[in-house]
C-alpha cells in the first residue's frame, strides 16, 4: 500500500505528517508506512493530480479530491475552529477509512 503526504517547498509538513500518522494508527496501520513526497514542478503537480500542500494520498488517490486544476499551491481545509492546512483528526480519519475500504475492495 502506498501512503503519502505530498507537499511543496515552503510548506512545513510536520503537522500534516503527525495528523496523518495518528489517523493511520487509529485505523490499525503502522504510521511508518507514510512517505513524504515533495512536488517540485507544475508538470509533476498535473501528473500527480496534486491540488495543494498538504495532500494526503492512498495508492495515488487524493483522500480529499478536488475539481480544481492541479497546481503548486497550498491547500486549506475547513475546520471546526476556522481554517487550517490540516483537517481535524476525525475528518482525516474518516477520509482515510473510506480510502482504505476502497483499496481493500479493489485489491
pLDDT in tens, 1-22: 999 999 999 888 899 999 999 9
- The tally of domains found in the chain comes to 1
Greater confidence, 83 or 35? 35
Q: What is the pTM of this model?
A: 0.91
Side-chain half-sphere exposure of 21, counting CA atoms within 13 A: 12
pLDDT over 70 at 80, yes or no: no
- Cβ atoms 91, 50 nearer than 8 A: no
Range of the domain at 49: 3-105
pLDDT over 90 at 60, yes or no: yes
What confidence score (pLDDT) does residue 37 get?
A: 97
Average pLDDT over residues 33-48: 97
What confidence score (pLDDT) does residue 78 get?
A: 63
Amino acid at each position: 500500500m502506498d501512503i503519502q503526504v505530498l507537499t511543496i517547498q515552503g510548506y512545513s509538513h510536520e503537522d500534516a505528517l503527525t495528523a496523518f500518522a495518528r489517523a493511520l494508527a487509529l485505523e490499525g496501520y503502522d504510521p511508518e508506512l507514510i512517505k513524504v513526497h515533495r512536488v517540485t514542478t507544475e508538470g509533476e503537480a498535473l501528473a500527480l493530480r496534486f491540488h495543494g500542500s498538504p495532500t494526503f494520498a492512498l495508492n495515488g488517490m487524493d483522500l480529499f479530491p478536488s475539481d480544481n486544476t492541479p497546481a503548486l499551491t497550498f491547500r486549506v481545509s475547513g475546520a471546526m475552529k476556522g481554517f487550517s492546512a490540516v483537517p481535524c483528526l476525525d475528518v482525516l480519519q474518516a477520509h482515510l477509512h473510506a480510502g482504505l475500504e476502497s483499496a481493500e475492495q479493489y485489491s
